[in-house]
Copies of this chain bind each other. A is one copy, B any other.
């Protein structure tokens, strides 16, 4: 194992640990709790779960691994704020989506070499990547880990 592989593995471990924290949070309370706002006028946990799925799902096309698994969640949980859309999927459906997405991403990530992670993601052109070589897939992963921590900090404010 190269030292680069080791560092990438440390980031993947951090990613997996974050996912487990989110899963544990959504397994902790009765269903009704996830429909309460985390703070007055703020997002509900069910919205944040949909948001995390939709954002993380975007890594599949960004990494050139295929199409989004749940494209129907993007308009509901990225392009519109909470409580602006009448019908959103049920909690149990979102929890199943979350589990399936994590399993799929873990399988995708399991066998990738250093070159995969250090290469450009699909939202940056080969020309721009030459100028900005840090715009690689690993940077997207780091940013997604931070994004998940950011929302986890909000989720734990829920008063049940």
Contact = CB atoms under 8 A, between A and B. Distances in A.
B42 A6 contact: no
A3 to B, nearest CB: 4
Interface in A52-78: none
What's the number of copies of this chain in the assembled complex? 2
Given A13-B134, A151-B153, A146 B18 contact: yes
Contacts of A7: 4, 7-8, 118, 138
Interface string A85-123: 000000000000000000000000000001000100000
Nearest to A118: B3
A80 interface: no
A151 to B, nearest CB: 6
Contact of A157 (B2, B3, B157): B157
A interface bracket (residues with beta carbon within 8 Å of B): 35 or more
Interface centre among A6, A9, A18, A40 (most CB of B within 10 A): A6
A8 B7 CA distance: 8
A148 to B, nearest CB: 8
Nearest to A139: B10
Contacts of A8: 7
A152 interface: yes
B149 A14 contact: no
B114 A3 contact: yes
A66 to B, nearest CB: 25
A81 to B, nearest CB: 14
A142 interface: yes
